[in-house]
């Protein structure tokens, strides 16, 4: 073979060998990519299956972050979730070292994400579409050592985010897998939130039902009545779903009426439960024949006293006897009742007070007595009435209560009650009820 042909043939052979090597490498890369893609998809599929059984919101975010680290070889994973206070964000990562909360300057990024729910390569934030978010997003990148952000957005609300350090911009294929992870993690987290909200709603409904039942137990079935030369009326407006004031009245025989009012130091359902227990004790004591006001408060104090977890309550017990023309009372740290005399324009008070109920184990309460003639009346009330606030946070006060009572004292009990409540409502002028408001008005008729 001539040398003229040898060189072209050799070159052709070299080209063919190089082409064969290129095809082999390309096939190898395709196989590796296909294998890696299959492995990534398998890891994501396993996360989807696990996420159905994850109990908490943070568990979902933690598992999704670990999945991303495994599937994409991320060297770092950071979890972002809403903080305890509205508008705040916490950052954390598995490991002993805590991360600082997201600073105020970076928080707008999470509000922005709810309108831009897609995987973000933080190296690209210099682009025009990021606008004012360039600084907050860049700060997240530098502060937490991440270069990729995966937002979780449900119902136009950013419910969390996952930050990753990949050390590279994700490829188009990796972005599609990250989007798949984002969608599945969002669905799992939203599912946990939905169950939590449903459970919370169910719990609240049960508590509201219980609070309503307790409130009904705190008030007499009949709140306006007359007997044995006495007329009385009561009123209570609770400040919330669970009140802690109560009143009760007992026809104890012999033409006598026993009235008890109480105000537990505490609020919410716990305060309602204590008041219900106290009222039940009063029911039991009066049924057992305890009609002396001092003796009743002494017995109630013993029932409420707790050495480790003290219960405190103020209260007044009063025994009205129209036949004998007297009223006896005892006071346990409560506002002193007003006495409106039929023959004197000036208001008096039923003076004297002992310690709060539940404060001292062996406290004794003495009864005081004064005369009661036709037209005399007594107003018992809790402090929420005089502490009712208007929009300027000024309290209604004792003076206004005295004026309202004096102006209406010659009328029947229902009109006196209505006049006092009208004065309070007019003064409040739409301000909310901050504390339970209770009054009982008894008049010798």
> What would be the CATH architecture of the domain defined by 220-444?
4-Layer Sandwich (3.60)
Give CATH superfamily name and number for 36-196.
Answer: GAF domain (3.30.450.40)
Residue spans in the chain of domains classed CATH 3.60.40.10:
220-444
The predicted model gives 386-413 an average pLDDT of 92
**Cross-strand partners of 313:** 264, 357
Lowest mean pLDDT among 65-79, 193-207, 373-387: 193-207
pLDDT tens-place string over residues 339-357: 999 888 889 999 999 999 9
Q: CATH 3.30.450.40 region(s) of the chain?
A: 36-196
Sequence-distant (6+) residues with CB within 8 A of 332 are 297, 300, 301, 313, 314, 315, 316, 353, 354, 355, 356, 357, 363, 365
The reported pTM is 0.55
The mean pLDDT of 394-403, rounded to a whole number, is: 94
> What tens digit of pLDDT does each residue of 267-287 get?
666 777 778 778 888 888 888
- As a whole number, mean pLDDT of residues 185-199 equals 69
User: Among 298, 383, 384, 372, which residue's Cα sits nearest to residue 341?
Assistant: 372
The residues that bridge with 327 in the sheet, in sequence order, are: 320, 370
- The pLDDT of residue 27 is 47
CA distances from 357 to 188, 281, 301, 381 (A): 52, 13, 5, 17
Task: Dump pLDDT digits (tens) for 129-175.
Answer: 888 999 999 999 999 999 999 999 887 889 899 999 999 999 888 88
| Mean pLDDT of the region 120-127 | 89
């Amino acid at each position: 073979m001539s040398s003229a042909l040898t060189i072209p043939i050799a070159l052709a052979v070299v080209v063919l060998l190089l082409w064969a090597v290129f095809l082999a490498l390309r096939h190898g890369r395709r196989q590796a990519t296909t294998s890696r893609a299959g492995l990534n998809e398998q890891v994501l599929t396993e996360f989807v299956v696990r996420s159905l059984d994850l109990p908490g919101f943070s568990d979902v975010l933690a598992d999704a972050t670990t999945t991303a680290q495994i599937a994409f070889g991320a060297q770092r994973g950071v979890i972002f979730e809403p903080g305890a206070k509205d508008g705040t964000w916490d950052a954390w990562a598995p490991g002993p070292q805590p991360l600082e909360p997201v600073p105020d300057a970076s928080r707008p990024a999470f509000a922005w994400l709810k309108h831009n729910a897609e995987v973000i390569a933080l190296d690209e934030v210099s682009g025009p579409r990021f606008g004012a978010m360039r600084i907050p997003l860049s700060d997240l990148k530098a502060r937490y050592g991440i270069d990729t952000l995966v937002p979780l957005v449900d119902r136009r609300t950013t419910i969390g985010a996952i930050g990753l350090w990949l050390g590279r911009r994700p490829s188009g294929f990796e972005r599609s897998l990250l989007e798949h992870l984002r969608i599945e993690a969002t669905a799992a987290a939203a599912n946990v939130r939905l169950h939590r909200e449903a459970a919370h709603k169910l719990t609240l409904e049960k508590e509201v039902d219980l609070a309503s039942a307790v409130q009904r137990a705190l008030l007499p079935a009949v709140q306006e009545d007359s007997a044995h030369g006495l007329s009385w009326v009561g009123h209570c407006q609770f400040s919330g779903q669970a009140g802690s004031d109560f009143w009760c009245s007992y026809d104890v025989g012999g033409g006598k009426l026993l009235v008890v009012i109480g105000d537990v130091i505490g609020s919410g359902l716990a305060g309602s439960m204590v008041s219900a227990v106290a009222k039940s004790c009063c029911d039991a004591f009066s049924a057992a024949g305890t009609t002396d006001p001092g003796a009743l408060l002494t017995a109630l104090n013993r029932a409420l006293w707790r050495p480790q977890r003290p219960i405190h309550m103020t209260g007044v017990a009063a025994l009205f006897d129209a036949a004998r023309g007297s009223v006896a009372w005892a006071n346990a740290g409560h506002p002193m009742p007003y006495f409106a005399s039929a023959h004197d324009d000036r208001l008096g008070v039923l003076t004297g007070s002992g310690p709060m109920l539940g404060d001292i184990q062996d406290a004794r309460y003495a009864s005081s007595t004064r005369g009661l003639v036709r037209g005399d009346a007594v107003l018992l009330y809790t402090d929420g009435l005089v502490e009712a606030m208007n929009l300027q946070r000024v309290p209604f006060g004792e003076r206004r209560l005295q004026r309202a009572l004096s102006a209406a004292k010659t009328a029947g009990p229902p009109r006196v009650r209505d006049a006092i409540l009208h004065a309070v409502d007019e003064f409040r002028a739409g301000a909310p009820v901050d504390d339970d408001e209770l009054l009982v008005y008894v008049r010798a008729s």
